[in-house]
Each structure stands twice: as structure tokens, then as C-alpha cells.
């Protein structure tokens, strides 16, 4: 059986503008990137420091905006067999990360389908994280 890959997307500052404790405007480029990973059968982990009512508001926002995900702050069952707080993923996408991704870079690394390559035409040379 082929192993399923996972990608962890940070929430505040990555999928939406960072306005914590409120939820900022959606970052459409990142949401399109998330959708492409989802369509290519990756597990989507929403990775956030939000908890309690703030986590509930985030989850509601994800559903209201039809953003696909498999887990929130949890590991895919296929990797850790415990309740580890450390999120395991093959790729982490976070606005605070050392390496930021352009859509074109992601294609080179992951070799996604034509749908992904068509998206590059739309975002040619555009950085995913812009100030």
C-alpha cells in the first residue's frame, strides 16, 4: 500500500491574515495551495496554537469557507500511535518558517499534476508570503 503524505498548514498568518484573537481575511493563494495538496490525496493538518473557544471559532471558519482538512492539531493515525502533542507531517507550511514557498517551487519539489502547473501560470514569480 502506498504511504499517504501529510502537510501541516499553520492557521494564523498562513491561511488567513494574523489578527488573533480574531480571524483575519483569507489568504487566497495559500487556500489554493492547500486545495491542490488535498486534491493530490495528501492528509491536510491544520496546525495552530489556538485552543478552547479560539480553536472552535477556527474550525467553524474552516467549515464555513469550505476549506478541506483531515485533522486539527492531530497526527494522522498511520504515524504515531500515541497522543503526542508534536505534529508529524512531511511538509510544514508556516508564515514564520525559514523557507517560504512559491507555487512554482512546490511544483518543482512535488511534481504535481497539470492542475497545479496551470496554477503556476496564474501566480508566476509571486511569493506565497508577502508583507
- Give me the pLDDT at residue 131, please: 46
Query: Where do the structural domains in the chain lie, given as residue ranges?
Result: 6-99
pLDDT of residue 5 exceeding 60, the answer is yes
Beta strands in the chain (DSSP E): 6-10, 43-47, 71-72, 91-93
Q: Per-residue pLDDT tens for 60-97?
A: 999 999 999 999 998 876 555 666 677 888 888 888 87
pLDDT of residue 13 exceeding 90, the answer is yes
Other residues' Cβ atoms within 10 Å of the Cβ of residue 57: 14
* Architecture of the domain spanning 6-99: 3-Layer(aba) Sandwich (3.40)
Amino acid at each position: 500500500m502506498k504511504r499517504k503524505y501529510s502537510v501541516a498548514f499553520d492557521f494564523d498568518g498562513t491561511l488567513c491574515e494574523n489578527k488573533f484573537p480574531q480571524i483575519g481575511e483569507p489568504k487566497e493563494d495559500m487556500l489554493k495551495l492547500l486545495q491542490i495538496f488535498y486534491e493530490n490525496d495528501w492528509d491536510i493538518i491544520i496546525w495552530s496554537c489556538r485552543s478552547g473557544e479560539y480553536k472552535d471559532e477556527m474550525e467553524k471558519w474552516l467549515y464555513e469557507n469550505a476549506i478541506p482538512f483531515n485533522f486539527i492539531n492531530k497526527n494522522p493515525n498511520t504515524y504515531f500511535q500515541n497522543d503526542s502533542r508534536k505534529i508529524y507531517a512531511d511538509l510544514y507550511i508556516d508564515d514564520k518558517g525559514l523557507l517560504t514557498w512559491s507555487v512554482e517551487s512546490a511544483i518543482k519539489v512535488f511534481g504535481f499534476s497539470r492542475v497545479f502547473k496551470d496554477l503556476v501560470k496564474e501566480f508566476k514569480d509571486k511569493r506565497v508570503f508577502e508583507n
